[in-house]
Amino acid sequence: RRSAGALSTAPARSADQAQAERLRAALASTVPGADGGLAFVLPAGFSSPELEDLGVPATTEPLVLEAPADVVETLASPFGKRLAAASGAPYTGPHAVAAGREWVDCTLLPCIALTYDDGPSRHTARLLDELRASHAAATFYVLGESASKLPGLVRRAVQEGHEVGSHTWSHPSLPRLSVRGIRAQLDRTHRLLRTLTGKPVTTFRPPYGLYNARVLRAARLPAILWSVDTRDWEGPSSRKLFASAVREATPGGIVLFHDTKPRSVRLAPAIIRALHRRGFTLVTITQLFNGDVPARGAYRSAN
């Protein structure tokens, strides 16, 4: 209009239906441009009553127009302004990939693994709900005996990206058993878990954290212990349980809970939120070791 010599910005008359449609199409094509501005495409055939009066022909091809951020700022609706302010903020909506299946580099990020022992139990389903809602991964050291009674929960845990390890069939103190007894406790459990999850068991947790060289040799798997013991089996207050889980957490650490304890399950969302706020990424045991758990030995953390 300026180059056609127009001196006024007042509209001569309203645009006709066809032009209004083109404007609508242009607005619908709007995408975020560089530096907080917006870009949109004006379709071919665009004109306006003023331009027609000035003898300017309609456009013959689509025009890409960019509105810089300061112009957008003055024109945007309240919703548009909210949208612009939120751009670049971390995503907090639903996730397409389960937390345990996301690739995480624990050499760069402060990772921590939450582990739950002695299940599955009647509280495990709620824990799985909470983990899913919090987009957090965990590792379950299950008892073969319990898994045989609640197989659906073991399957569900794996389907939702969590890891399942072995905690023996019936929770004996392994150093007190013969090599044959140790193998029987583990082999029976591993056969069941393999059938349920479709994956071989890759780590085990000795009951009570008790092991010796003979146990490790017989197990032929790495023993995963813990760096933070919440002592949730002793029935601490919620405050004490929360404090030990959150304050004692360190990068590469492993936190011990029991999904047989309703308080540990109830507090899971608050603990996960607090760990996230401290900057931790919650991962499975395998992720904690960057996908490469050492084949032998006993570990209290990934460090």
Binding stretches for Ni ion (CB under 5 A): 117-118, 207
For residue 218, give both structure tokens.
Answer: 């017989």
Encoded amino acid at 148, one letter:
S
What is the torsional sign of CA 260, 264, 267, 269? negative
- DSSP code of residue 166: E
- CB of 22 or CB of 263, closer to Ni ion: 263
Q: How far is the CB of 223 from Ni ion (least distance, A)?
A: 13
C-alpha distances in Å from residue 256, one per residue of 9, 167, 253:
71, 13, 10
Instruction: Decide if 53 is catalytic.
Output: no
Closest residue to Ni ion, judged by C-beta, is 117
Helix 179-197, helix 151-159: angle, nearest 10: 60
| d(C-alpha 259, C-alpha 115), whole Å | 9
Point out the catalytic residue in the list 53, 117, 118, 190.
117
Angle between helices 262-277 and 124-133 (to 10 degrees): 20
How far, in Å, are 103, 236, 259, 283 from residue 137 at the CA level? Answer: 12, 24, 14, 5
3-state secondary structure of 281: strand
**What are the distances in angstroms from CA 16 to CA 170, 206, 221?**
80, 79, 77
> Is 258 labeled as catalytic in the residue annotation?
yes
d(CA 207, CA 162): 21
Q: How far is the CB of 278 from Ni ion (least distance, A)?
A: 27
Nearer to Ni ion, 117 or 259 (CB): 117
Of the pair 106, 254, the CB lying nearest Ni ion is at 254
Q: Do residues 183 and 196 touch, judged by C-beta distance below 8 A? A: no
Minimum distance from residue 210 beta carbon to Ni ion (Å): 10
Catalytic residue, from 190, 232, 258, 259: name it: 258
Cα–Cα nearest to 253, from 75, 111, 151: 111
Minimum Å gap between C-beta 172 and Ni ion is: 11
**Residue 101 has which token pair?**
């299946």
CB 168 → Ni ion: shortest distance, Å?
Answer: 9
- Which C-beta is closer to Ni ion: that of 119 or that of 252? 119
Quick one: 135 or 258, whose CB is closer to Ni ion? 258
Q: Residue 301 CB, nearest distance to Ni ion (Å)? A: 19
Tokens, residue 289: 């070791």
Active site residues: 117, 258
